[in-house]
Structure formats: C-alpha cells, structure tokens
C-alpha cells in the first residue's frame, strides 16, 4: 500500500492549506471569489513588467484575462499539485476537456497512441472515432497484458493512456510496470485516476508522467460542479496549459471556489467512501441474490494484489451482477430508498445506475454483451451516508429481486 513520506504533510492538511495565501484579502479565511473576466493594470510599466514575466515563464503575480487563469484557478491548481505530489496542475471546465486537450497537446498528424481497453467509454470513443479525423490513430490494449502492450507499440507511437480504477469493473492497472515499459520505449504516460483520488493512489510517485481527474466526481464531492485537471511536471503541464489558452476550456471562478471548498474535506470524505465501499462489497459478495461483485478491496477481484501494492484505499464505487435479468435489476434499483438514480459518482449522496439503461442505453444487447455490460449489472456509487443504513437498504431491496431459479433455491422462496 502507498505511504506518506515523513516530510510530506498528510492529505487532510494539504487539502485544507496547500495553495492558500496568508493573509487573504480583507482578512477573510475563505478565499474570495474573483468574479471578473479581465484584469486592469495600474500603468504601462506594470503591464510591461507582467508581460516580461509571462514571456520568461516566471510565476505571474496577478491575472491578465480570464481565459488564461484566475486567482481562484491558481489556488486550486497549487492545492491539487500538492495533493498529487506534482510540480504543477492545470484546471479545465470538464474532465473530458482535461483528457482531450492533454492528448492533443502531445499528439500531431501521423502519431499513434495506445489506450488500455477499459478506459471511460467517451475517452475510447474520442480515440477510436474522432482522432482519426485528425490523422492520429489509437490502439486498444488489454489491461496488465504486457505482451499485448508491446505488440501495440509502433515506430510512431508517442504515448500510453490508461485509467485506474476503471469504470465499471474497477480494474487496477499495475502503474509501476506500465511506466517502466512505456519509458523504456520513450513513451509519455497518462493516467485517469478519477476513481482513485490522490487520497487512495498517487500515480506520479508510481512513475506516471501525467495524472488526469474529473473534478466533477470526488474532488468536488457534492454533485454540484463540472471540472477537470491535469497534474505532473511543470514543463509537461505548461504545454497543456498553453494549448488550453488557445482552446479556452477554462473553469469559471465560482466553480473553482466550489471545487476549492470541496477539496478541503476530500480526505475526510474519502475515508467514509472507502469504508462504505469495502463494507458494501463484502455484504454483496455474501448475498445469494448477487452473482458477482467487482471491488478492488475484495480478494476475488482480478487485480486485488495490484491494488494492495499501489493503493491505500479502494473508493466508494461497487459494481455487481444480480442473479436476475435486466427487469429484475431495475426492480432492485427502484426498491432502494437511499440512493438517487443517475449517472456520475463521488458526491456525498449515493447514486445508483444500471449501465445497460444509462451509459450504454444506445447500444444493442449484442453490442453491450461484447463489452461485458449485462442487463443485470448495477453500479453503486456510495456516498457518505451511515454504513449501517446503506446495508439495511440494500438488504430490503435485494429481498424484492425476482431471482433466477438456482438463486431462489439457495435463498428459499421469496
């Protein structure tokens, strides 16, 4: 499991204080929202001094124009860089913007990149359907299959993009090994660690070059904002930042204020998410109405040993298949009283979904089967509610599931 170096403050201390200045304007404890699109200069000399610092790549003392950043963005970026152990961070309007613009910043016509095959479906869609329009090709490689990864490398391969834990199977990539293989071939490495958060896994310390998060999820933590971030070495992040200065996928100051506020309780929230995830996964695995559970904290998970080596907690998302069909799974979800039915994850409120009817609704049953999305699969993104209440709610809902015959024999007639 990952550990905290003796000279590095703990996650809660960093989440509260990293990036914060003292004293703040007006003596405030909370950083004020600087709600402006443009910034003025006292005189021409001040403008020239600002532009010279910008040209030399020096830290800027103040803003210039909202698309290039803001005091609220600078604070959040410094805080996230500290949490991940990176030199710099760049925030975006969404997690997909962070992923797409990070790829485009390092790829050009004629280049090729590799993506592990259980990445977020929109990330796969971008690589396989949209990137070819711009002369960039993408190959999928199975997770933790070294030979498949080596076979996918071409002379024009530039980088490897992966995700850990993945959605919805919560597969865990052996990041140290992936980084070693990639770097031995001169390839850049990127990882989407949204499901992990800096509290549970720190990919930069495991050898990865860039870490991407959808800040919409655990980082914001309250289901009330959209955002993304890329974190890593200063020169790599600056290349992405410069690209975004042109594209303009910028996050506004009010959203950044909400993200900053959410980050202050990240470590506390993740402790409860991790606890709820582990307890619920163990409960589900022992229940006769459940066929299979995917959760990295379970010994039955295919990547459990990798998770133990690379993670300090396993998060609040649990995926499982019921001993039922699509309609039976829908009956179960409708019987739950605590979670909301919806997409996304990582907030204080629990959210549950049937991937076949939510994220993969437009696919045919055969297409879903080809990627392993069965009608009876449920993804439960646990919030921070009391564990006992979540377990009791699951128990009463599972009792209402119309089971397959062999499962009824195990449990007894409903």
Instruction: Give the closest residue to 196 by CA, choosing from 80, 94, 307, 101.
Output: 307
Residue 217 CA to residue 212 CA, distance in Å, equals 12
Q: Is position 26 annotated as part of the catalytic site?
A: no
Instruction: Give the closest residue to 139 by CA, choosing from 187, 172, 102, 209.
Output: 187
Q: Which one of the listed residues 111, 118, 192, 303 is annotated catalytic?
A: 192
Q: Which one of the listed residues 53, 67, 234, 411 is annotated catalytic?
A: 67
For 366-407, what is the HEC assignment?
A: HHHHHCCCCCCEEEEECCCCCHHHHHHHHHHHHCCCCCCHHH
CB 113 within 8 A of CB 106: no
Could you tell me the sign of the dihedral formed by the alpha carbons of 129, 131, 134, 137, in that order?
Answer: negative
Burial zone of 16 (CB within 10 Å; 0-12 exposed, 13-18 middle, 19+ buried): middle
Q: How distant, in Å, are the alpha carbons of 120, 291, 392, 404, 405 from that of 412?
A: 39, 16, 20, 12, 10
Residue 297, both tokens: 């904290």
What number of helices (H) and strands (E) belong to the chain? 16, 12
Q: Which one of the listed residues 79, 111, 113, 120 is annotated catalytic?
A: 120
| Token pair 């860089």: residue | 81
Interaxial angle between packed helices 234-247 and 95-106, expressed in degrees from 0 to 180 and rounded to the nearest 10: 110
Q: Is position 120 annotated as part of the catalytic site?
A: yes
Query: What one-character-per-residue DSSP string does 324-379 give?
Result: S-HHHHHHHHHH-SSSEE-S---SSS-EEE-GGGTTTTTS-HHHHHHTT--TTEEE
Q: Is position 217 annotated as part of the catalytic site?
A: yes
Q: Is position 67 annotated as part of the catalytic site?
A: yes
Q: Which one of the listed residues 79, 124, 171, 217 is annotated catalytic?
A: 217
Q: Which residues pair with 140 in a beta bridge?
A: 115
Q: What is the DSSP letter of 153?
A: -
CB 173 within 8 A of CB 143: yes
Residue 395 CA to residue 250 CA, distance in Å, equals 44
Residue 133 CA to residue 135 CA, distance in Å, equals 6
* Residue 66, helix vs strand vs coil: helix
Q: Which residues are catalytic?
A: 67, 120, 192, 217
């Amino acid at each position: 499991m990952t550990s905290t170096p003796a000279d590095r403050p703990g996650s809660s201390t960093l989440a509260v204080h990293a990036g914060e200045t003292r004293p703040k304007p007006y003596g405030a404890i909370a950083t004020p929202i600087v709600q402006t699109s443009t910034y003025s200069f006292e005189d021409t000399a001040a403008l020239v001094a600002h532009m010279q610092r910008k040209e030399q790549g020096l830290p800027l003392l103040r803003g210039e124009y909202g698309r290039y950043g803001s005091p609220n963005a600078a604070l959040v970026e410094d805080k996230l860089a500290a949490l991940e152990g990176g030199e710099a961070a760049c925030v975006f309007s969404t997690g997909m913007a962070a992923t797409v613009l990070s790829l485009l910043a390092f790829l050009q016509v004629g280049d090729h990149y590799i993506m592990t095959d259980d990445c977020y479906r929109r990330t796969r869609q971008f690589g396989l359907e949209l990137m070819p329009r711009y002369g960039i090709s993408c190959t999928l490689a199975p997770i933790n299959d070294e030979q498949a990864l080596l076979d996918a490398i071409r002379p024009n391969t530039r980088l490897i993009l992966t995700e850990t834990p993945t959605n919805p199977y919560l597969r865990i990539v052996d990041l140290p090994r992936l980084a070693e293989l990639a770097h031995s071939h001169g390839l850049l490495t990127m990882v989407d660690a949204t499901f992990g958060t800096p509290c549970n896994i720190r990919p930069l310390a495991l050898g990865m070059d860039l870490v991407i998060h959808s800040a919409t999820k655990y980082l914001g933590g309250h289901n009330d904002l959209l955002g993304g971030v890329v974190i890593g070495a200063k020169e790599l992040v600056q290349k992405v930042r410069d690209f975004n200065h042109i594209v303009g996928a910028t996050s506004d100051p009010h959203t950044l204020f909400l993200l900053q506020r959410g980050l202050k309780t990240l470590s506390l929230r993740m402790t409860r998410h991790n606890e709820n995830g582990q307890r619920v996964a163990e409960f589900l695995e022992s229940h006769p109405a459940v066929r299979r559970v995917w959760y990295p904290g379970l010994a039955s998970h295919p990547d459990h040993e990798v998770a133990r080596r690379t993670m300090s907690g396993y998060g609040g998302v649990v995926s499982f298949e019921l001993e039922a069909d699509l309609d039976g799974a829908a009956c179960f979800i409708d019987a739950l009283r605590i979670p909301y039915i919806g997409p996304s994850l990582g907030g204080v409120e629990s959210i549950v979904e049937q991937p076949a009817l939510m994220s993969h609704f437009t696919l045919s049953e055969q297409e879903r089967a080809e990627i392993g999305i069965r009608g009876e699969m449920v993804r439960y993104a646990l919030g921070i509610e009391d564990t006992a209440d979540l377990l009791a709610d699951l128990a009463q809902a599972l009792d209402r599931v119309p089971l397959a015959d062999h499962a009824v024999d195990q449990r007894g007639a409903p």
